[in-house]
């Protein structure tokens, strides 16, 4: 084979991948299209933040949630046996804001992964009619919860999650993560492709910021539904869908940011 032809063939994946990704992501909806005004009679939203050794992140996360414009809120930080001062930092915030409570996660029972167990106990402690599970390495804009509740009510979502912006600080983050997310976009498509598909294996959710209606969540067994699955968010979406519940994914790059990793 001619060397020039071979070179062109070898470069095709790098040329076609961004084009295919752009085409696939077009079919998406954004939280920016939802109202930023709180609904009348706003339901209580309980934000559950599972945290194990998250001293680097927990203050930013909790304080970002507390900037919300949403008027009916509680925050439950689940300190999962942290040894780095996570609990103390969370308690310090709770001492200045009555919306925040910190609970200690009970010992992990057999058959459970740690995050799912922390989420289960945080939800049990919450009085929320809607529960938002938020990872400790995320930051929320002040309009995220308000727009999300409006989207949940407008679209009749039982499980609702947001595809946000990934913070890329180091060299390897900038090299690897865009390729990973490009592959996910090529595989699953835009948010409306995920929301509207009737194929269970094409359903996904983003566990970094995931909302559920409390009554539906409880009726399905809460995080016990996915207690032994590593990809708990994906499995939660598929199990909700399999039981006839509506699963909605929307884009929220202006509302949610996440620093997943800090090194290779």
Under 8 Å between Cβ of 78 and 85? no
Q: What is the pLDDT of residues 133-184, one digit of tens each?
A: 999 999 999 999 999 999 999 999 999 999 987 756 666 666 666 666 666 6
Confidence label for 28 from pLDDT (cuts 50, 70 and 90)? confident
Residue with tokens 């999962």: 80
- The mean per-residue pLDDT over the stretch 30-37 comes to 95
Q: How far apart are the first and last CA of the chain?
A: 37
Rounded Cα distance between 46 and 130, Å, is 6
State residue 192's pLDDT score.
85
What 17-24 contacts at long range (C-beta under 8 Å, 24+ apart), as own/partner pairs, is 17/182, 17/186, 18/182, 20/186, 21/182, 21/185, 21/186, 24/185, 24/186, 24/189, 24/190, 24/193
Q: What is the pLDDT of residues 45-75, one digit of tens each?
A: 999 999 999 999 999 999 999 999 999 999 9
What secondary structure does DSSP assign to 42-84, as a single string? PPPEEEEEEESS-TTTHHHHHHHHHT---SSEEEEEEE-S-SS
- The mean per-residue pLDDT over the stretch 228-234 comes to 92
- pTM of the predicted protein model: 0.85
């Amino acid at each position: 084979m001619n060397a020039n032809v071979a070179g062109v063939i070898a470069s095709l994946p790098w040329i076609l991948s961004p084009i295919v990704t752009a085409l696939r992501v077009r079919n998406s909806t954004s939280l920016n299209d939802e109202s930023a005004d709180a609904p009348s009679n706003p339901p209580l939203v309980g934000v559950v933040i599972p945290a194990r050794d998250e001293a680097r992140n927990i203050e930013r996360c909790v304080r970002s949630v507390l900037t919300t414009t949403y008027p009916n809120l509680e925050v439950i930080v689940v300190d999962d046996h942290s040894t780095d001062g996570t609990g103390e930092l969370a308690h310090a915030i709770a001492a200045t804001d009555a919306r925040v409570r910190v609970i200690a996660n009970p010992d992990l029972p057999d058959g459970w992964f740690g995050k799912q167990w922390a989420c289960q106990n945080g939800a049990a402690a919450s009085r929320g009619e809607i529960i938002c599970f938020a990872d400790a390495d995320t930051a929320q804009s002040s309009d995220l919860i308000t727009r999300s509740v409006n989207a949940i009510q407008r679209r009749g979502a039982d499980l609702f999650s947001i595809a946000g912006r990934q913070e890329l600080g180091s060299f390897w983050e900038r090299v690897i993560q865009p390729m990973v997310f490009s592959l996910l976009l090529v595989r699953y498509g835009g948010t409306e492709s995920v929301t509207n598909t009737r194929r269970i294996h094409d359903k996904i959710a983003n566990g970094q910021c995931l909302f559920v209606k409390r009554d539906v969540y409880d009726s399905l067994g809460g995080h016990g539904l996915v207690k032994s699955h590593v990809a708990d968010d994906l499995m939660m979406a598929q199990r909700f869908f399999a039981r006839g519940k509506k699963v909605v994914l929307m884009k929220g790059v202006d509302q949610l940011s996440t620093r997943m990793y800090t090194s290779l």
